[in-house]
Amino acid sequence: MVNRGYTSHANNHLRANNNGHRSWRSDPNWGGYIEQVKVDLKAPCEDLPYLSMDEEYTIIIDDFQALLSSYSVWGMLRALESFSQMVVLSDDGSMLRINSTTIYDGPRFSHRGLLVDTSRHFIDTCTLVKILDGMAYNKLNVFHWHIVDDHSFPYESRTFPELSQQGAYHPSMVYTQADIAHIIEEATLRGIRVMPEFDTPGHTRSWGISHPELLTECYDQYRGKLGPMDPTRESTYTFLSNLFREVIEVFPDRYVHLGGDEVGFECWASNPNILEYMKQNRLYSFEMLEEKFIQRIVDQIDVLKRNSLVWQEVYVNGITRDGLPALLSSCWYLDHLSTGGDWRKFYNCDPHDFIGTGKQKSLVLGGEACMWSEVVNGHNILPRIFPRVSATAEKLWSPASVNNADEAARRLEEQTCRMNHRGIPAQPPNGPGFCI
């Protein structure tokens, strides 16, 4: 893994410079030349990235060598990325330069994610790998895969193959088990977790194409004939248990996102069977009904030795309890477009910017930028994400004291050019300018 990371970063610079080294001793700032890059990994490699993985590292650059050290392979990957960004091309293109320095670095938050929605528009695997590249360049470490939704069901299930056969946009627009394994492998090589999301009980219209019995019949024709999943049928929970049993075999991460947002209570309210069920079970609100549903699914995930995540709306409805960990995403929606330079609003958002105790703030594990795909596909998703997500990445990695947006603008300009050179079509962040 480290060898591949080293080769990748070396190739990035070879592409940028093929002129050789000339007259470097005549440079008045020259102090020496690096004869070797030493990689000191102080502990055995781990197979998969995880929430509490150690990403700290040290870089020491002297006149004759670069020393990169870390106690974990994940920290070493971050060190290699930082080292690659420290190497710059001279103005005349004749040499690569690096300053002598000592760096001790590590992330502020352990969860630094990017959500990508592949239901509203299908995103091909080659583009997803490009997104993983960009995430690694910005030290993001969680690929939150919003893989299915109302509009299509591209996840190819072994247990229920009819879900994608009937629910995908087209037979070619599915993620096979091999595709998913490939994405997980590519993510792991970059120190990135892959966390799947199967949103329930809402956002499930595509499930109902092959399994209409899962969904609630809407007597008032709310959003069509069928609405959210029917929480009164035991068969619904049996189906979900079987599906999630497969999901945890396909996705090795310890977390599964269960969604829980934007449930169509109007449909439930129109169905007399739902109302009778609520009466018999003393459920006095639809929020309580949703709570009962989600808790059943959370219990299923617990039995499978995995952890669950849900959207904030579930918390507002009283389904989670105080004292649980949290993630921030509300201020980092990449599908919300405005004029150039909108990265500043992302940069000015901080996960700890709320009134609370130190203990409460310690429960914030980090956050995620969200790329919902109503108006993006494989042709335009990369410049929509990059470099705007770089602002989020810096807020989640750097200390809280690093908060000057004007200074960040210069770094972001440089990072954008760097990503362009590496094959990421990142859009200009600050208006007119150029990259060499």
Token pair, residue 172, equals 């070619």
The residues, any chain, with a CB within 8 Å of residue 69's CB and separated by 6 or more, are 39, 40, 41, 42, 57, 58, 60, 79
Beta strands in 268-414 (DSSP E): 307-309, 326-328, 364-371
Chain position carrying tokens 């059943």:
296
Is-cis flag, bond preceding 383, omega within 30?
no
A 10 A CB-CB count for 2 gives 17
Which among 204, 193, 308, 207 is positioned nearest to 256, based on CA atoms?
308
* Catalytic entry in 262, 276, 407, 414: 262
What's the length of the chain? 436
Residue 371 has, within 13 A of its CA and on its CB side, a CA count of: 30
Helix axes 286-303, 272-280, angle to 10 degrees: 80
Chain position carrying tokens 């995908």:
168
DSSP H helices, 220-285, are: 234-250, 265-270, 272-280
Task: Give the whole-angstrom CA distance, residue 286 versus residue 296.
Answer: 15
Q: Does the annotation mark 262 as catalytic?
A: yes
Which among 324, 123, 310, 314 is positioned nearest to 199, based on CA atoms?
310
Residue 129 in contact with residue 186, Cβ under 8 Å? yes
Find the distance separating the first CA and the last CA of the chain, reported in whole Å: 31
**Cα-to-chain-centroid distance, residue 34:** 36
Active site residues: 262
